Structure 1
Amino acid sequence: MQWLVWSLATAGKFFEGMIVFMQGVGLPLISRDFGLSDLDKGFVTAATLAGILFGALLLGGLADRLGRKPVFIGEMVLLLVALIAAATAPSKEILIFSLFVIGLALGADYPTAHLVISESIPSAIRGRLVLGAFSFQAIGAVLGTAIAAIILSAMPSVNDWRLFFLVPIVPVAAVVWGRFFLPESSHWLVSRGLPEKAEKQLRKLLNRQNLSLVSVDRLQEVAPQQRSRDWVKLFRGKYLRATILTSIPWFLQDLSTYGIGIFTPVIIAMAFGEMNQATTVGDLIQNDMIGAKGTALIDVGFLLGIAAAIVLADRWGRIPLQITGFIGCAAGLLLASLGGAGGHTNLTLTVAGFLLFQFMTNLGPNATTYLMAGEVFPTKIRGLGAGFAAASGKVGAVLTAFFFPTLIQIWGTEKVLAVLVITSLLGAVITWLYRIEPKGLDMESL
């Protein structure tokens, strides 16, 4: 049952990686199909990320009130409906709204999936399994860009972007069905004053008939008058440090991770010198294929980085990985910016810089911000704290997605990358100043 919990919790991250990165490949096609302006492109790219922001902030906290399981199921049902709406959208307005709802579902999964894993897995391997689930974002991104390239090759059409949203529908439906069989979190039930139900669910989780809860006194029922003040707790006393550690570095990290991730196909196509020559639909699709293949290559760094994080998180600790990763991100972005310095494109430097960036961000902040957000808050506000941290990250992602197309045109790729170098170094500094190391500690001791 623990492995079933883990495997079904990987789905949200997998679908996020697949959908967001396939959407990046599909952006030029969507733009041609609906005749999008630069402002429209900003809305299309930012809609999903804005939905993730509000989903993590508003729906993620529901897991503290309604329970982990109902939110865990409901978010996938919402994703299924929104994918169908996006694939059949007759106008840009309906598409943008559908993308926002897709984001709501994915955003709710940010804290909920983490809590479901963390409250079901032994402390000694918690870091590895949480990051193992998180790694499916990378797998989804690589598979999504590969599938997009295959679709573009097999049946080139401006409407191919609609197929990108249809591809995940069957696996999403399968995940909805599977999540009905999972137990509710015993941590959450005890924190709600339901120890008998908690014991029943714990027996289901561990497949043990003779089992009773221990250390129940460490989990207290949350009084109704306390619940209305949960938001305030995030910004006072001992929890303020945890809020700063989990939210600000995540914001700074998402500025670069989503900006680079979404627009890598465009940047790669520009590096090959093809993008500006697209005058026909055939040229457009050809350029999109170049971008998709280049992105799939660079996403190898994504997979290698998260694999290293899985191995090292419970050995080195979260804080060393996050600081090292931020510094490595800055180095990769600097290298990529040098690849286009002086108006002359050095493709080797550009690709090497993006590869290094993808490796280091997933070795460090892209993985550890997600991991720590579900560890450093107590059970009664864990969903709220993790949701706020994820939402903070998505503020950075939305800003980047919305303004990146305009900034690349006005400033040029090199200057935009230089700004992201600075934000990465700032992330390393804040991580060190507000460090809390959860490695090896059980959820209640933290």
Structure 2
Amino acid sequence: MSGKPEGHTEDLVRVETQIAARESLQVTKASWGDFFRHYRKRKNFLLLLGTAGSWFCLDVAFYGLSLNNATILQVIGYSTKNTHNVYQFLYNTAVGNIIIVLAGAVPGYWVSVATIDTLGRKTIQLGGFIILTILFIVMGFAYFHISSSGLLAIYVLAQFFFNFGPNTTTFVVPGEVFPTRYRSTSHGISAASGKIGSIIGQGAIAPLRTRGGTKANPAPWQDHVLEIYALFMLIGCGTTLLIPETKRKTLEELTGEDDYTTTYRESPTVEARD
């Protein structure tokens, strides 16, 4: 017997393992130089491209489609065209949009919350982009032939799959896949890409719908605009393939920063010293 208190051996093993782990775990200090070196690696760059590109493609269509709200409000009886005063205008706008949100967007979010750790982020995002591509193709090529009730149904489905899809996952995934020292910066770049997409969607693409418009047909290019949105949803499918599945994984596992855990698990037992 060594005469040392009981439990001393285990404490010594733990301390020496922690020391070895700290020595083996070398985390580079965050700097702009290291940031650019990090993203010069093809794997890291493609990951950032996947998150930023997906957010960009989503927001082009998500914010551009909102310009169609007037048409949808008219279908459900809350048109703002013939309102007689500001109160009626605001009332119709508020109530009509609440109905649309409760019919599609809110249920989509709740389904995402319920399934995001079972189906997975990547599966939900890819599935959402695929279905949105189909919906926009249908709306685009059949816009002038589809009934108002049919347009309403497709619009509500689009709102559902925006939220049970990329509108939920595009801000979740960037908060999980990047290394700690650049997580907030990379998430910010991804979010900024989305806002650029929203500007393009509303400022550059959506105005095309009135190209060549007349009093009888004020938006002759509306179908082509929806077809353009379908193209962006298809591109979103491609950028989604660049991101990993993150469900039920720790941040350390996802970013490769679990060296300490690995070292602790694999370290051989150290004999106690007298």
Q: What is the TM-score when the length of structure 2 is the normalising length?
A: 0.71
Deviation at 1:397, TM superposition (A): 0.7
CA RMSD of aligned residues (A): 2.9
Distance 1:414 1:286 in 2: 30
Please show how residues 217-236 of structure 1 align to structure 2 within 5 Å.
222-223=28-29, 226-236=31-41
- Map of 2:124 onto structure 1: 321
- Map of 1:440 onto structure 2: 248
Distance 1:302 1:288 in 2: 21
Q: Deviations over 1:45-82 (max 9, x none)?
A: xxxxxxxxxxxxxxxxxxxxxxxxxxxxxxxxxxxxxx
Shift in CA distance, 351/284, structure 1 to aligned 2, threshold 3 Å: farther
Deviation at 1:361, TM superposition (A): 1.2
Shift in CA distance, 369/405, structure 1 to aligned 2, threshold 3 Å: closer
Q: Is the 8 A contact 2:141 2:227 kept in 1?
A: no
- Map of 1:394 onto structure 2: 195
- Map of 1:25 onto structure 2: none
Distance 2:179 2:248 in 1: 16
Which segments of 5 or more consecutive residues in structure 1 lack a partner in the other structure? 1-211
Answering whether residue 119 of structure 2 is matched by residue 310 of structure 1, we say no
**2:98 equivalent among 296, 314, 317:** 296
- State the one-letter code of the partner of 1:293: V
Q: Is the 8 A contact 1:339 1:348 kept in 2?
A: no
Please show how residues 4-83 of structure 1 align to structure 2 within 5 Å.
none
Q: Is the 8 A contact 1:306 1:363 kept in 2?
A: yes
Q: Deviations over 1:167-187 (max 9, x none)?
A: xxxxxxxxxxxxxxxxxxxxx
Deviation at 1:435, TM superposition (A): 3.4
Shift in CA distance, 359/218, structure 1 to aligned 2, threshold 3 Å: farther
Distance 1:423 1:230 in 2: 29
Secondary structure at 1:315's aligned position in 2?
coil
Answering whether residue 65 of structure 2 is matched by residue 260 of structure 1, we say yes
Which segments of 5 or more consecutive residues in structure 2 lack a partner in the other structure? 1-17, 212-219, 255-274
Distance 1:348 1:293 in 2: 18
Shift in CA distance, 332/217, structure 1 to aligned 2, threshold 3 Å: farther
Distance 1:326 1:250 in 2: 11
- Map of 1:243 onto structure 2: 48
- Tell me which of the two structures has the higher relative contact order, counting C-alpha pairs closer than 8 angstroms and 6 or more residues apart: 2
Shift in CA distance, 218/265, structure 1 to aligned 2, threshold 3 Å: farther
Q: Is the 8 A contact 2:73 2:97 kept in 1?
A: no
Q: Deviations over 1:257-312 (max 9, x none)?
A: 12223x2433324656955x55xx72565455434333222212111111111111
Distance 1:402 1:218 in 2: 51
Secondary structure at 2:105's aligned position in 1?
helix
Please show how residues 47-446 of structure 1 align to structure 2 within 5 Å.
222-223=28-29, 226-261=31-66, 263-269=67-73, 278=82, 282=84, 286-300=88-102, 301-337=104-140, 340-342=143-145, 346-403=147-204, 406-410=207-211, 411-432=220-241, 434-446=242-254
- State the one-letter code of the partner of 2:239: I
Structure possessing the higher radius of gyration over alpha carbons: 2
Structure with a larger share of its residues in helix: 1
Secondary structure at 1:316's aligned position in 2?
coil
Out of 376-385 and 408-417, give the one that drifted further.
Answer: 408-417
Q: Deviations over 1:21-52 (max 9, x none)?
A: xxxxxxxxxxxxxxxxxxxxxxxxxxxxxxxx
Distance 2:180 2:52 in 1: 18
Secondary structure at 2:253's aligned position in 1?
coil
Distance 1:389 1:235 in 2: 17
Q: What is the TM-score when the length of structure 1 is the normalising length?
A: 0.45
Distance 1:292 1:376 in 2: 38
Distance 1:364 1:412 in 2: 27
Alignment size in residue pairs? 225
Out of 333-342 and 398-407, give the one that drifted further.
Answer: 333-342
Deviation at 1:241, TM superposition (A): 2.1
- State the one-letter code of the partner of 1:429: G
Identity %: 25
